[in-house]
Amino acid sequence: MTLPIRNVAIIAHVDHGKTTLVDALLKQSGIFREGEEVPDCVMDSNDLERERGITILSKNTAVHYKDILINIVDTPGHADFGGEVERVLGMVDGCILIVDANEGPMPQTRFVLKKALEKGLRPIVVVNKIDRPQADPYGAVDKVLDLFIELGADDDQCEFPYLFASGLQGYAKADLKDEGVDVQPLFESILRHVPPPVGDVSKPLQLQVTTLDYSDYLGRIVIGKIHNGVIKAGQQAVLVTESGEIVKTKISKLMGFEGLQRVDLEEAFAGNIVAVAGFANANIGETITCPNEPQALPLIKVDEPTLQMTFSVNDSPFAGQEGDYVTSRQLRDRLMRELETNVALRVDETDSPDKFLVSGRGELHLGILIETMRREGYEFQVSQPQVIYREVKGQPCEPYEVLALDIPEEAVGGCIERLGQRKGEMQNMHVSGNGRTQLEFVIPARGLIGFRGEFMRLTRGDGIMNHSFLDYRPISGDVETRRNGVIIAFEEGVATFYSLKNGEDRGVFFITPGTRVYKGMIVGEHNRPQDLDLNVCKTKQLTNHRSATGDELVQLQAPAEMSLERALEYIGPEELVEVTPESVRLRKVTKKLVRR
């Protein structure tokens, strides 16, 4: 029996137009009533996703086309959120790979595509943004084929169907010469090339948990695909946990997906993707099954974290002044709650009750968690990110990454020199005709820590940098990272214009006049390799004599803005980032005063 369902994931590199194309599919499927206001990026549901223009959490939606229900899963494009990608690919039977017509496949396209091919999926390739200048659609198709071959795709996968599209304009077409009208060719391609789900309605129930959600009314909600059998609202079921324990419970609510909404269902069959309430302790990868014949599905394997940092209670002189949640118990509870939905994260307790070792897939992965927590009112401090070493065949190894740069020609020399100092090895170099050059490196993950800020300076903000995990290799030598020392506040107080103006020749400041500082707080970068202690609160001595130049307008150099990401990349081994809902401060752990 052919099920009237298609389950498809949309995968792509960051900023290649996934979410915009899903917008077009939703708008043209008729799920929005006439006159309803439709937001852009409807699948980017949380504030951070909208602000950064990236997908962080995978999400489900469903549309009807020709009496067939098409479940669409929008997945993250950034390798740091690979835990999201890996688990949702187990729910689907096909995928749409979106590639930018200008850039072609990028490092993280490689990452998500590799995962899809390993699952045996046959992608439909959509060359997006063909309406942009300098687009090379057929060149992008050739590059995708090269990538398929490189990743070991079989003959059937290499014979992939492809379409040309503009998500922004809302059309897709099979031939470039055709006129772009709507996205119907993409719907047709899904029906033609994505097989219906394989599942036996007559077998005992098996549903694998792939995503977790939470509701104030229903408690924990689990989302997953029904592999076999039928599930009914109100029925008895059991959860087979990771350890093999069997927990009996009742399905209190069963929901399906209709557009962006969840709709109540009485029953659902094998092949469908549903949301189920009633399993308070269910975790990712576990199986909901029939009480009479409990049979677990294979657990979902997720790549291990490659980066770790210490989260600790804030103990700076300004501790507890800006946050709502400041204790070690509150910090621990929040991190443990994150583990329930964030499968790529690890949290380990340390010898100190105030410190927790948090491991993730990269700086962005951990940075998003930190930003989310500070917006929720948490106040804490974090250490410099450190790579996680492993032993492979008895030899100590470290994670390596593939790094791709798209930079102006004048920045090529500087980037190659700095990456060479960070133990990067150039693999490929391509000079475009538009004054830009594409470079590809293999580099230790620790060589990338702190490189992004330096890269922006080298390219004057005009460079594009992407990287993804490659594998573990033997440890290389010492990596040269930050060259300059820092400027440290000498006493607690308020920074003054007079002090900052007098200290301008010593380096670049991170603060402005009026900023509250404390002893040990990092307020700037020194021009020299040594750290420098400076009194930034000193005021000008007032006299009863008027200066001849006193009324002249004196301006201060613009400070270097320290965002959370920049701060995490910038700090050294003996430094911390103090994170509160209102501020991001840099500080020394232990400070030896060096008077100048």
Question: For 425-438, what is each residue's pLDDT tens digit?
Answer: 998 888 876 778 88
Mean pLDDT, range 178-200, rounded to an integer: 84
- The answer, yes or no, to whether residue 5 has pLDDT greater than 60, is yes
5-193 maps to which CATH number? 3.40.50.300
- The answer, yes or no, to whether residue 77 has pLDDT greater than 70, is no
Domain 390-474, what architecture? 2-Layer Sandwich (3.30)
- The answer, yes or no, to whether residue 197 has pLDDT greater than 50, is yes
- The answer, yes or no, to whether residue 304 has pLDDT greater than 60, is yes
Prediction pTM value: 0.68
Q: Where in the chain is the domain with CATH 3.30.70.240?
A: 390-474
The third-level CATH classification (topology) of the domain covering 206-289 is Elongation Factor Tu (Ef-tu); domain 3 (2.40.30)
Phi-psi region of 120 (alpha: psi -120 to 50; beta: other; left: phi over 0): left
Q: Which has the minimum average pLDDT: 131-135, 148-152, 501-505?
A: 131-135
DSSP 8-state secondary structure symbol assigned to residue 94 = E
Q: Which residues are annotated as a binding site for GTP?
A: 15-20, 128-131
486-542+552-588 maps to which CATH number? 2.40.50.250
- The answer, yes or no, to whether residue 48 has pLDDT greater than 60, is no
How far, in Å, CA of 154 to CA of 160, rounded?
Answer: 11
Q: Which has the minimum average pLDDT: 123-132, 201-210, 338-347?
A: 338-347
Q: Which has the minimum average pLDDT: 102-106, 118-122, 270-274?
A: 102-106
Q: pLDDT band for position 522 (50/70/90)?
A: very high
Looking at residue 346, its amino acid is R
Q: Which residues are annotated as a binding site?
A: 15-20, 128-131
Q: Where in the chain is the domain with CATH 3.40.50.300?
A: 5-193
Considering all CA atoms of the chain, what is the largest pairwise distance in Å, rounded to the nearest integer?
97
Q: Which residue has the higher pLDDT, 466 or 203?
A: 203
Hey, how many other C-beta atoms are within 10 angstroms of the C-beta on 424?
24
Q: Where in the chain is the domain with CATH 2.40.50.250?
A: 486-542+552-588
Give the whole-number percent of the chain exceeding pLDDT 90.
9
Any idea of the CA torsion for 195, 198, 202, 207, to the nearest 10 degrees?
-120
- The answer, yes or no, to whether residue 112 has pLDDT greater than 80, is no
CA 252 to chain centroid: 33
How are beta strands 123-128 and 162-166 bridged, if at all?
parallel
